[in-house]
Structure 1
Amino acid sequence: MEFPSAIVALGGGTLIGLAATLFLLLNGRIAGISSILAELRPTRPGDSPWRWGFVLGLVAGGATLSLTYPQAFEPASDALTRYGVAGFLVGLGARMGNGCTSGHGVCGLSRRSFRSLVATLTFIVTGMVTVYLTRHGSI
Structure 2
Amino acid sequence: METTFTPLASLAGGALIGLAAVCLMLLRGRIMGATGILAGAMWPASRYDWTWRAAMLLGMVTGPWIYFALTGRLPEIAVPSATLLLIFGGVLVGIGVTLGSGCTSGHGVCGMARLSPRSFAATATFMLTTGLTVYVIRHLLGG
Q: Give the TM-score taking structure 1 as reference length.
A: 0.83
From 86, 90, 96, the equivalent of 1:93 is: 96
In 1, distance between residues paired with 2:128 and 2:83?
24
Alignment gaps of 5+ in structure 2:
none
Instruction: Tell me which residue corresponds to 1:69.
Output: 75
From 38, 46, 49, the equivalent of 2:48 is: 46
Instruction: Tell me which residue corresponds to 1:137.
Output: 141
In 1, distance between residues paired with 2:7 and 2:65?
24
1:47-104 CA-to-partner distances (Å, cap 9, x unmatched) read 112112222322233577797133x2226xx432222111111111011111000000
From 56, 59, 62, the equivalent of 2:58 is: 56
Number of aligned residues:
135
The answer to whether the Cα contact below 8 Å between 1:32 and 1:102 also exists between their aligned partners in 2 is yes
Instruction: Tell me which residue corresponds to 1:17.
Output: 18
The answer to whether the aligner puts 1:35 opposite 2:23 as a matched pair is no
Distance 1:129 1:35, change over 3 A: same
In 1, distance between residues paired with 2:82 and 2:58?
22
- SS of 1:25 mapped into structure 2: helix
Kindly report the root-mean-square deviation, in angstroms, between the aligned alpha carbons of the 2 structures. 2.6
Q: Give the TM-score taking structure 2 as reference length.
A: 0.81
Query: Percent same amino acid among aligned pairs?
Result: 42
Equivalent residue letter for 1:27: R
1:21-68 CA-to-partner distances (Å, cap 9, x unmatched) read 111101110011111122222213411121122223222335777971
In 2, distance between residues paired with 1:62 and 1:46?
27
Equivalent residue letter for 2:16: L
- Indicate the larger mover: 30-39 or 108-117: 30-39
- Indicate the larger mover: 118-127 or 9-18: 9-18
In 2, distance between residues paired with 1:86 and 1:64?
28
Alignment gaps of 5+ in structure 1:
none
- SS of 2:35 mapped into structure 1: helix
The answer to whether the Cα contact below 8 Å between 2:64 and 2:75 also exists between their aligned partners in 1 is no
- SS of 2:48 mapped into structure 1: coil
The answer to whether the Cα contact below 8 Å between 1:34 and 1:95 also exists between their aligned partners in 2 is no
